[in-house]
């Protein structure tokens, strides 16, 4: 099994992209299942095959431990690790090649808790791939673009598994905005120029330095636009996964 983790900030469209990507895979004759790892999810646009809420729910933890939503989310994040082996055993009962993992809405609960590494290890780190979602609401300004690159870099550092940086909700951008962001992702000098347009202040200088640091460690990558609404970019995501995991070969369940 190949585990594809969809990670991004709150509102970046993780669940919608998981749904759209599975729909696209089904049309290609590729079998997959979905796993929801958000114990606080109130609505999911698909029916998860495996749901962490069968083990732990934010609402129940709030009542049991008299915690607020944030405290309960943290407790749930750690409790998920306690159920990692059982979660892996349930997933293994499915005859499939691809497991699409929808991570918690609050990115920090998955990216920055040690419990998440426990889950990745239990499911199989050598068979893992990370799809990082950059939110266009943040990334369409030069400084915001650098910020999303930093978040992506930190997430990769935390998990150290192959990844793809995806610009989610690409349909919400104008043609000019999308073109500018694609150019920034393909040409670091274009982004540096955009960062230093107008008055050069400490904020812009810091962004340029961060950008240079990411480029020097190989974290400056092209951005892949995708839209769950238009079902665009799905083939690009799939191709990146295949190139990383299978050298371009499809896995099909006969």
Q: Give the domain ranges of the chain.
A: 2-135+161-171+222-245
Q: Which of 12-26, 77-91, 215-229 is the least confident region? A: 215-229
Q: What average pLDDT is seen over the chain?
A: 89
**Rounded alpha-carbon distances, angstroms, from residue 216 to 24, 120, 187, 188:** 36, 28, 14, 11
Please determine, looking at this structure, whether the domain spanning 2-135+161-171+222-245 carries the CATH number 3.20.20.140: no
Q: 3-state class of 215 per DSSP?
A: helix
Confidence at residue 143, expressed as pLDDT on a 0 to 100 scale: 85
* Distance of alpha carbon 113 from the chain centroid: 15
- Whether the pLDDT of residue 89 is over 60: the answer is yes
Residue whose entry in the numeric block shows the structure tokens 């426990």? 118
Region of 135 please: left (phi>0), alpha (psi -120 to 50) or beta: beta
Cα four-point dihedral sign 64, 65, 68, 69: negative
- Whether the pLDDT of residue 221 is over 60: the answer is yes
Confidence at residue 170, expressed as pLDDT on a 0 to 100 scale: 96
Q: Which of 38-47, 77-86, 177-186, 242-251 is the least confident region? A: 242-251
Condensed to tens digits (0 to 9), the pLDDT of residues 40-63 reads 998 999 999 999 999 999 999 999
- Whether the pLDDT of residue 105 is over 70: the answer is yes
Kindly state the percentage of the chain with pLDDT values over 90: 66
**Region 136-154 average pLDDT:** 89
Q: Which of 13-22, 60-69, 149-158, 235-244 is the least confident region? A: 149-158
Q: What pLDDT band is residue 230 in, cutting at 50, 70 and 90?
A: very high
Confidence at residue 247, expressed as pLDDT on a 0 to 100 scale: 60
Q: What is the DSSP letter of 172?
A: G
- Whether the pLDDT of residue 201 is over 80: the answer is no
Q: Which residues pair with 8 in a beta bridge?
A: 133
Q: What is the Cα–Cα distance from 110 to 112, expressed in whole angstroms? A: 6
* N- to C-terminal Cα separation, the chain: 14
- Whether the pLDDT of residue 254 is over 50: the answer is no
- Closest to 102 in 3D by CA, of 16, 26, 160, 29: 16
Q: What is the Cα–Cα distance from 74 to 22, expressed in whole angstroms? A: 29
């Amino acid at each position: 099994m190949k585990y594809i983790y969809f990670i991004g900030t709150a509102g970046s469209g993780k669940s919608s992209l998981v749904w759209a990507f599975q729909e696209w895979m089904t049309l290609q004759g590729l079998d997959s299942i979905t796993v929801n790892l958000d114990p606080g999810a109130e609505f999911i646009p698909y029916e998860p095959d495996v749901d962490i809420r069968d083990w732990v729910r934010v609402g129940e933890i709030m009542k049991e431990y008299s915690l607020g939503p944030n405290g309960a989310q943290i407790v749930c994040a750690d409790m998920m690790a306690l159920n990692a082996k059982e979660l892996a055993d349930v997933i293994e009962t499915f005859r499939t090649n691809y497991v699409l993992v929808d991570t918690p809405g609050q990115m920090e609960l998955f990216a920055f808790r040690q419990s998440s590494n426990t889950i990745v290890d239990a499911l199989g780190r050598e068979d893992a791939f990370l799809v990082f979602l950059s939110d266009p609401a943040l990334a369409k300004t030069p400084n915001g673009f650098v910020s999303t690159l930093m978040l992506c870099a930190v997430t990769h550092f935390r998990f150290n598994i192959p990844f793809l940086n995806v610009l989610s909700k690409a349909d919400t951008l104008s043609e000019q905005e999308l073109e500018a962001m694609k150019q920034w992702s393909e040409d670091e000098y274009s982004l540096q120029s955009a960062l230093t347009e107008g008055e050069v202040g400490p904020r812009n200088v810091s962004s340029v330095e961060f950008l240079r640091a990411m480029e020097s460690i190989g974290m400056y990558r092209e951005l892949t636009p995708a839209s769950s609404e238009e079902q665009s970019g799905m083939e690009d995501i799939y191709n990146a996964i295949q190139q990383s995991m299978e050298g371009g070969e499809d896995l099909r369940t006969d």
